[in-house]
Amino acid sequence: MRVAVMGTGGMGGYFGGLLARAGHEVAFIARGAHLKAIQEQGLRIESVISGDFVATGQATDDPAEVGEVDLVLFTVKTYHNAQAIPAIRPLIGSNTAVLTMQNGVESGSELAAAIGAEHVLVAPTLIESFVQEPGLIVERMPRTGVALGEFEGNGTERVSALAATLKEAGWTVEPTAAIAGDAWFKCMFICALGSVLASSRSTLGEVMACAESNDLFVTVLQEVEQVARAKGIILDTSLNIPRFMGLKGEGSVVDVIMAFAESMPAQLKPSMLRDLEAGRPTEIDALNGAIVRLGREVGVPTPANLAVTGCLRPAHLRALAG
């Protein structure tokens, strides 16, 4: 299988690296010092799940040099979509699948509008991985998981066949016809985790120990759930993403997520906080900002999500401009 990784960061680099290790022809699309390091040394991966290895393959900053492929892993940060989506056109043939692993719930729609829904697969993903230095991806979560489905929600032979191929390469992946539920469940969790910790410049333990911050975390979760349900999305712990997270128990999904958050390492810092501290753009627009927009569309007030968006967006815009 010919594969192009559009955005060889922590997620794309790790999953694309697994495919390269399994013998697939993988092209890594990257930029700057990271690209140079991959070209010179290969893509180094250190993983608590998959071990340490070096993935090799074509490395370029120009998708046109790669040409048509069977599968595109679309893993750029969401704030690069305006440039990245047109840039993948040279990769797409009549049977190419474009697998978006991006955060949020709008990526599939953006891609479908630009390249056609028939090409788009959606893959909400549970992972903690990042570029530690140019050419080096570190994955340090003891379990990962990918829910895989068609953008239009129906189960297909294509999804089943691709899931089998990805499993052979070492992915933990489950095909599903309920992909919207998995996308919204993940969005619900990371909207609260990322925005509340970033807004307060605090670790998870500090937020959990502060009554007011804890209440804000819960309220952000509740608002995302309300918007999802207003759009007809079913959220429960039988979905793939909560199963990957090991979520169990009775009660509301908010209660289950809060119990999970309280069990996580106290020193945890989500990517949104790490990006904010480093002066990088964040995905606030694709996460809490999207919840505010979608809430207005369905008539659900989202004051907590609006508040954290208002707190974090100026720094995001400053980083984009700078």
Domain ranges within the chain, ordered by starting residue: 2-177, 181-321
Asked whether 194 and 289 are in contact (CB, 8 A), the reply is no
How much is the pLDDT for 163?
98
Residue 3 has a pLDDT of 98
CA distance linking residue 162 with residue 169, whole number of Å: 11
DSSP per-residue string spanning 245-296: HT---SS-HHHHHHHHHHHS-TT---HHHHHHHTT---STTTTHHHHHHHHH
Spans in the chain with pLDDT lower than 50: none
Percent of the chain with pLDDT over 70: 99
Structure confidence at residue 250 (pLDDT): 67
Closest CA to 26 of 122, 165, 147, 149: 165
CATH tag, 2-177: 3.40.50.720
- According to DSSP, the β-strands at 2-6 and 58-60 are unpaired
- What are the residues whose beta carbons fall under 8 Å from the beta carbon of 224, sequence distance 6 or more? 184, 187, 188, 191, 192, 291, 305
Homologous superfamily (CATH) of 181-321 is: N-(1-d-carboxylethyl)-l-norvaline Dehydrogenase; domain 2 (1.10.1040.10)
pLDDT digits (tens, 9 = 90+) for 161-200: 999 999 999 999 999 999 999 999 999 999 999 999 999 9
Q: Which amino acid is at 234?
A: I
Query: What integer pLDDT is reported at residue 248 of this predicted model?
Result: 72
Phi, psi of 28 (to 5 degrees): -100, 120
Alpha-carbon gap, residue 89 to 235, rounded angstroms: 34
Q: Are 90 and 64 in contact (CB under 8 A)?
A: yes
| Burial grade of 1 (CB within 10 A; 0-12, 13-18, 19 or more) | middle
In the prediction, which pLDDT does 173 show?
A: 97
pTM value is 0.94
Q: Are 213 and 196 in contact (CB under 8 A)?
A: yes
